Amino acid sequence: MENDYPLLTNLMDAWLNQDYDYICESETIEGAIDYYIYHSSPNILKELLLEFENFLAMHPDDADKAFEENFHPEVIIPSIEKFTILFKEKVTACGKI
């Protein structure tokens, strides 16, 4: 099966999983996002933001359910739309793109 969201999959599986506090040296999801952004290149961040946008565009009426079904997150993300906004704000604030 082809993965249309390889960077989003990597973010959720490798970084924001049940061990994110150990992996990202943070007790919060926000801190884990900061850690990921710090360790990612501007090109990766741009591509990941595009994947977020594409995912939301493909699931305008059921984004949260589709996110849960596609990625099976090990952390609680109540709203993928709000998570995307937070991620985008943090990427913009860091000045990498």
Is 60 among the domain residues? yes
Cα distances from 54 to residues 4, 18, 34, 47, in angstroms, run 9, 25, 22, 10
Q: Which amino acid is at 70?
A: N
Distance CA 95, CA 29 (A): 20
User: Quick one: pLDDT at residue 85?
Assistant: 97
User: Quick one: pLDDT at residue 40?
Assistant: 97
94 alpha-carbon distance from chain centroid: 16
Range of the domain at 72: 6-94
Is 1 among the domain residues? no
- Reading the chain (97 residues) residue by residue, the pLDDT tens digits are 478 999 999 999 999 999 999 999 999 999 999 999 999 999 999 999 999 999 999 999 999 999 999 999 999 999 999 999 999 999 999 998 8
Distance CA 36, CA 39 (A): 5
Is 48 among the domain residues? yes
Distance CA 88, CA 84 (A): 6
Question: For the chain, what is the domain count?
Answer: 1
